[in-house]
Structure 1
């Protein structure tokens, strides 16, 4: 080892090294240093220092990225990438021109370009991070699920912040830094740079090349002069710290930020390309995986995916139909790209774009879609017509009500000119109707079909205008078009009365589909189609069941039978063909009471030699109900002894449907309880229960039937007995044998009967019923849970038994009913709190819901934990319950407030409304909740806006006050009143609040007037300015409750002197 104290020129000569180790020592030292570094890193990791540094660096990077994005959003979000590039190049050229005249101008231009490039790079990083969160499922670009946030920034700027903008930002950053160096050089920094002396002064291009060569140490590769003096590329280089320090910062930014983003974008682009390629794969697993992945790319997938259609030699219908579904899941942010693609030269691209716009109900695309309805491509025309119909029938105001922040397609933010106004949306119906009418004469049947369906979706408002055109399609050469036209006429109605005759003529068509469609359309027209009843009756003899059913249902909808139609039905019932008679009787049964005039003919048919005819006739009379009792009961009694058991059973059922009007049949039904056929005995027992006769013979007969050998008969007899008698078994406890019956149907019927009778007098019955909670049959256990809350007895023992069943049963349906039963006991069931909490967090969705509902009713100590967990449950119903639970809690714990704020972003309006209402109970509203509440204030749901108004009462921020000012103009008077109360509580002189409060005092709804009076009362002395108008209301108020509030308020506000303040209502 040599140690040299003289350094000399510090050349590569060995004599210049301060310390030189021999070979073994050198190797050992390197390995030792590496080991020490590894041990030091492991120690720092165990101490948490490395994790802390990484976390701090991550937070710092996120903060810098977010701030950079905000700067870009404020200053440059108005510019598309071509404008951005043009502006960047212009500033660089202007700065270059100023370099020899005004050096400070060059520096200002360079700093501006660097600011543009840097903020745009950071904006891309921020949007790319949000894309990653969407891909991982943390956020969503459309219809977020529970646990997902809406990717607002990606929706607003995802189409704008892409690879082209990143490339422009890179060019701007490099060019701006080169211009900055030129400015430094010309403003007195010649000594900071080294130039080749024989080439003249440095220019912008020299610094631009030098910047490129210094990036990523490229200069060490290409500037070979440092090694072999073969090739020298760099003309100017920084040598002094005022020039090298900015170079170091620039290289760090480029290496750690810009290059990383470029490589990540390239990887993302490659992944997107491969996913699109897999989408066209013939292998189902690969296709399905790609289909599920494509929406995660957001708006960036739309144009590449549509462009891939050009290279597909054949587009199967299945894939063509899937593409619009995929694109529509991306949400409204896809609309601009789809509108742009409507001008594509490839018909499949245009067709898919049009279909996607239809699924998105994009009203703002109507101007672009309407001209495509007449283009040459049949596929495009069909897609456009279908899309127009979908858009026109949607509720435009509701579906197209995004916040201003999301309407990037309507206008971009401009720091100088503000928001560009959105073009006025077309009225969907008025804009689409002429196009759809024209499409009715299209040469392609598929287009005509879509046009007819679209017209039907527009509703009765267009019936007068389109019915004549639809009638012309009833003669269309395509059968499907004719069917769709007839069906649409039925949907729209016939206000002119011109469609009945043409539809009646369709009943004579040979096609069965046309017959059935025309019959259904006539039925939808109701009484207006009464002239076609005879033709419909004729169809009742058609051999095709669908035609007969459609005709019978149509007659029932029309509601009347004229004499010829009645005669035709009677004729059908006497037709020599057994099948015709049976079909006619069945059809008459479908008509119900409408065919009451045919009842005598049905009675005659009950003596038909064919058992099927007799059965259909009996069944039809039963469907007519009590109206046919006078004619039918004697024959039905006779039918109880029919040779065919099926007919006898139907006769007993029909008598039960006639209820008290068939009292004369009771003796016959009692006899039928002894019928040899089980089905007849069951129907007879059931019929006696429906009649409600509690006479001794009926009760005795049913008690005897309760001992029938068949469990089904015993169960129905027991159920009927409990319906007709409040004291089924007068002598002692006779329920025991039935509760222990071997047939579970009997045990269920016995439990139903006990529950129907209410509290039990025999104390020995309750333990027996509790024991049935361990019954092997789940239906029995469920019935026990229904009955127990209706009985008397010790509630604690009942709750314990139900809790055990909730914890141990293997059937979710049983557990659900057990939780429901526990909740009915209220606060006395607090001991079930732990079991309910466990069930609310880990059971099946129905069990979780009923357990949480029980917790809401009982309010055990575990309620706080249950409600907190319920706010993050995947089931919307459970989240609604949990959020409602917080509304009822007397005090909101501090730890739950962040979860309630998070719930303001829930996809369910009711959850957000409940969370807002709960937050409104706080004395001071958390600042982090204000922004989300303001976003909710523009929602079309009244309940949500009401909750927002309640919550914002506890905020004193200027943004909250502005939102409350907007709610003063709400369509809901209650919301206006709450907003007025909040503003008046902050500023009693608020003219807007006074005006709304005065208006509420005159509201036609008493409840609003009462609320307004209560609000004035809550203002105390500050409400004295309303004294005059309250005096006027004293003579005008008619609502008793309102007057009860008004008089005490007047007494409180009565001035102490003769001078009475007058209310001035702003105009």
Structure 2
């Protein structure tokens, strides 16, 4: 039968028509683009898509933000199961149960897209997670939900959408859509599994493949197909949504990769601002940045020291997730990559990698070996390795019922390899071997790291003593310092350092002297060798020797005679240097006071000045011998000697009346420096100089402002003021010189209760033009007037409006010292804690934690997100002190468990441990924190995990039974035994921890439940100790 067509073309003309149509469409699209129509449509489409994403996120935040991805999956599967088992008589239930997971999955996907966009904005620097310092908007949603909205939630949402779509189609089929679908041969009623297969095959485009297999007679499979436009429309919408999600993921991956590549390229830029921006941004990419960054390092021909120092810090800032990637690059063919990977592992406190690092100690590259030595010093100083606790000790205590388990344990130990070596022991051994390295830089770093490890490295004392004879000067210096840190035999160490004092190098002698000084009284045999160094030609050696003598102990007779000889030297320089050294020694040189008094008669001005200054530094112990000479020196022909004599007399304490009379006379000296020092000295004598009051009142009118200031300050120090004194000091508040006004404020501050009128005169000084005066007013007014409205208003004004950071910080500190009485200042402190300079924000945060105003919760939440680690530490400590922890603060505390600052992590874990119920999203992070390098973090994390369900943390607590900290072992044992289940390993750990003589084991932190009957029978007393303990935070506000 012939068919009539409106237009019938042959093959050639059909091809031309197709190409012409495409060309016409292209031209039309160009015209529409030029007139702006396409741009307008795309912009409108973008607005719709962005609005939909934003609306979807809001819906998810309102209805589903409480659900973690496993809970989300469980809820969706529950709806699907309910709908799939519903009888054919309830098709409406199927539709409802299908729409519910479909809705859940849709808004969860949109929430993922929303958070992913905000994450990208943070990586670009347009937003900031913590307190923005460069004008960025704060990424509040990412900070709150970033850890929750990740790929697992997207996968869970996909499952919910596919399952819900299948159930919806089944319900529609049962009610109105039997003609919408073609169901195979139509002989059987389709089940839910058929519609699920329909959704998956259509989504993945598998139907064409199956049709091809059927046409080739390879496979005959029957599936549901759309047969009418309603089913096709639903299917098109279903596929369109997934296409949108897929495109978003593709574009996100592309822009992420491009952005990472650009950031890495910028990191190597020679331009400092570009480099700094890239360095700060790299941490935002997480562990995915490690591989590309280290690969880019291979193309760098050489690294500067600054780059070698910064790159490990960047990698360590990303966090422990980088450790596996760093370990993989330890044997990279490029030496810079190996060196950076080693250094980063050290900064991450990756104690488990010590054996791997020790294996690199023979690397052919000296730079790598140096990085290994540095990392081992860091890891060895952490001392977080599991201690080798002898489990058999419990058996010797008579636990017969454990005999069988002991026998089984011995058999299992025969079948297992030897336990790994203690990381500290291995680090010390490796570093000691590095003492013989060919590279001086490696030897220097090895010696330095040994000192950093401290007492656990005492076995290396003899190796360090050998390095005191190293050819390299720096190695000898570092060896001297390390010897003073590792401990060991004090006699051996002191003998070696005394010998090093004879070294020809000045820096080496100075290092040996400093090391001896750090040993304190144990180094007293070195005094006779240190004394000659007081006359060394290098000032650094003389200073180090004098400071060492001051710490080691008083001069003996022989040393005093030697110094006296120095004061009698024919060389003027030697005499002056000897006197100066005695002043540096201070009170320990009191036996040399008579010699110094004689030196005050020297014909040389410099010698006399140094002698006078030294007597002042020795202080009251030299008063009996020094005072007469110092009084005479007030009239020395050299003004500098007279001024120093006045100053020294003020350090002699209560003495005879002749001193005060002499100083009164010096108040009329021609030289203002002498007059000022005399006034200051009178003030230092305190009440004993009350007879100088009239003379000081006259000196307060001196033409020299420095003299006026010292006189007014002294008037406040010599006792209760008279009415005349009060008038003089109050007049000083209006002096033209700010130093005088500040001195007058200081004097008024000593009066105790000066009266309301005086306080009213002081308040305007909070707005003085001079910062020093304002600071003094800030210090004085709260002490005199308390938290009056006028004082609080003035302090808040200085806190928010002053242009001096120092004034602002003092205002914040003053408010904090007022305590709860300053609650009205909460709003000002909150503003300062959010927007001020870093030091102002820190002090304001401290004040808030002390005052606890209504704004405390808001301030501490902002503090946990601050870019400055010190502020986050203060804020986290504030949560430990808060009376209650509101639920709004919990997400920030959970996020703080990831903080790079140790104290923040420890304080956040402690605060979470105070909750009645532990949030489920905190449990994985707390579990991760139980492997933290810091004991305080592990301890607080273990304590908080006691609130978690036992089935979720049982394995973690079991692992903690072998922790190096006995308190952590106690907490783990108590948690396991609280379940009521027999746990022999927990019994053993409990007994060993309670028998640990370490101080921390004597005061465990956890609250115990009843132990097992076996342990109770043998160790009831230990259990009473454990049950009586009480918790306390590891870290407080610094």
Query: In which range does the TM-score fall when normalised by the shorter chain?
Result: 0.5 to 0.7
Give the equivalent residue in structure 2 for 1:389: 377
Partner of residue 164, structure 1: none
TM-score relative to the length of structure 2: 0.67
Change (3 A) 1:540 1:345: same
Residue number in structure 2 paired with 1:340 = 328
Q: Provide the rounded CA distance (Å) in 2 between the counterparts of 1:155 and 1:931.
A: 15
Assess, with a 3 A threshold, how the Cα gap between structure 1 residues 343 and 724 changes in structure 2: closer, same or farther: same
Q: Give the distance between the partners of 1:868 and 1:314, measured in 2 at CA.
A: 44
**What corresponds to 2:683 in structure 1?**
689
> What is the deviation of 1:307?
4.1
Deviations 1:795-830 (A, max 9, x none): 344445555555554444444444555566667666
Match of 2:780 in 1: 787
Q: Which deviations, in whole Å up to 9, do the C-alpha atoms of 1:742-784 show, x marking residues without a partner? A: 22222222222222111124x4323322232332222222322
Q: Verify the 8 A CA contact 1:919 1:925 in the aligned structure 2.
A: yes
* Worse-matched range after superposition: 579-588 or 882-891: 882-891
Distance 2:997 2:497 in 1: 48
User: Cα gap change, 1:756/1:979 in structure 2, threshold over 3 Å: closer, same or farther?
Assistant: farther
Match of 1:660 among 654, 659, 667: 654
Measured against aligned partners, the alpha-carbon deviations of 1:818-866 in whole angstroms (never above 9, x if no partner) come to 4555566667666655555544544444555555666666666666655
Match of 1:438 in 2: 433
Tell me the equivalent position of 2:630: 636
Aligned to 2:338: 350
Residue matched to 2:51? 51
The yes-or-no answer on 1:361 pairing with 2:361 is no
1:606: Cα distance to partner? 0.6
| Distance verdict in 2 for CA 1:692–1:155, change over 3 Å | farther
Greater alpha carbon shift after TM alignment, 536-545 vs 566-575: 536-545
Q: CA deviation at 1:47?
A: 11
Name the CA distance, whole Å, in 1 between partners of 2:1003 and 2:273.
64
Q: Say whether the 8 Å CA contact 1:910–1:944 is kept in structure 2.
A: no
Counterpart in the other structure of 2:454: 459
Distance 1:327 1:1010 in 2: 38
Distance 1:11-1:257 versus aligned 2 partners, 3 A rule: farther
> C-alpha distance in 2, partners of 1:365/1:1002?
30
Give the stretch that moved more between structures: 680-689 or 601-610.
680-689
Query: Cα distance, 1:349 vs. partner?
Result: 3.7
Alignment CA distance shift 1:301-1:918 (3 Å): closer
Q: CA contact under 8 A between 2:316 and 2:347: conserved in structure 1?
A: yes
Q: Deviations over 1:357-416 (max 9, x none)?
A: 3333332222223233234443433333333333222333499xxxxxxxxxxxxxxxxx
Residues 609-656 of structure 1 deviation map (CA, whole Å, 9 limit, x = unaligned) = 000000111111111111111111111111111111111111111111
Name the structure 2 match of 1:548.
542
In the aligned structure 2, how far is the partner of 1:251 from the partner of 1:842? 48
SS at match of 2:223: helix
| Number of positions where the alignment pairs a residue of Structure 1 with one of Structure 2 | 874
Greater gyration radius:
1
Q: How does 1:101-250 map onto structure 2 within 5 Å?
A: 135=123, 242=223
**What does 1:956-971 align with in structure 2 at a 5 Å threshold?**
959=952
Aligned in 2, Cα 1:473/1:315: closer, same or farther, shift over 3 Å?
same
Q: Which runs of 5+ in 2 are unaligned?
A: 75-108, 131-137, 156-182, 187-200, 388-415, 1031-1038
The whole-number CA distance in structure 2 between the counterparts of 1:965 and 1:821 is: 49
Do structure 1's residue 746 and structure 2's residue 734 form an aligned pair? no
Normalising by structure 1, report the TM-score.
0.66
Deviates more, 1:446-455 or 1:612-621: 446-455
What secondary structure sits across from 1:724 in the alignment?
A: coil
CA distance change for structure 1 residues 346 and 941 in 2, over 3 Å: closer, same or farther? Answer: closer
131 and 624 in structure 1: CA distance in 2 versus 1, 3 angstrom threshold: same
Structure 1's 784 and 307: CA in aligned 2 closer, same or farther, altered over 3 A? closer
In the superposition, relative to structure 1, how do residues 291 and 889 fare at CA in structure 2: closer, same or farther (>3 Å)? closer
How big is the shift at 1:477?
3.1
Query: Is 1:299 aligned to residue 287 of structure 2?
Result: yes
Aligned to 1:177: none
What displacement does 1:929 show?
5.9
SS of the residue corresponding to residue 361 of structure 1 reads: coil
- Structure 2 counterparts to residues 985-1000 of structure 1, below 5 A: none
Q: Counterpart in 2 of 1:93?
A: none
Does residue 327 (structure 1) correspond to residue 320 (structure 2)? The answer is no
What's the CA shift for 1:898?
A: 5.7
Task: Please report the RMSD computed on the Cα atoms of aligned residues, expressed in angstroms.
Answer: 6.5
Shift in CA distance, 717/995, structure 1 to aligned 2, threshold 3 Å? farther
Q: CA deviation at 1:191?
A: 11
Counterpart in the other structure of 1:611 = 605
The 8 Å contact of residues 531 and 559 in structure 2, kept in 1 or not, is answered as: yes
Q: Out of 767, 770, 782, which is 1:774 matched to?
A: 767
Q: Find the residue that maps to 1:431 and give its secondary structure.
A: helix
Question: The residue matched to 1:364 in structure 2 has which SS?
Answer: helix
Q: Which residue pairs with 1:450 in the alignment?
A: 445
Secondary structure of the structure 2 residue equivalent to 1:383: helix
Cα drift, residue 892 of structure 1: 7.2
Q: Does the 8 Å CA contact 1:715/1:746 hold for their aligned counterparts? A: yes
Q: 1:55 to 1:655 in 2, by over 3 A?
A: same
Deviation string, structure 1 residues 454-485 (Cα, Å, up to 9, x no partner): 3222323433x433333333333333333333
The Cα of 1:266 is off from its aligned counterpart by 6.1
- Asked if the contact 1:272/1:301 (under 8 Å) is kept, the reply is yes
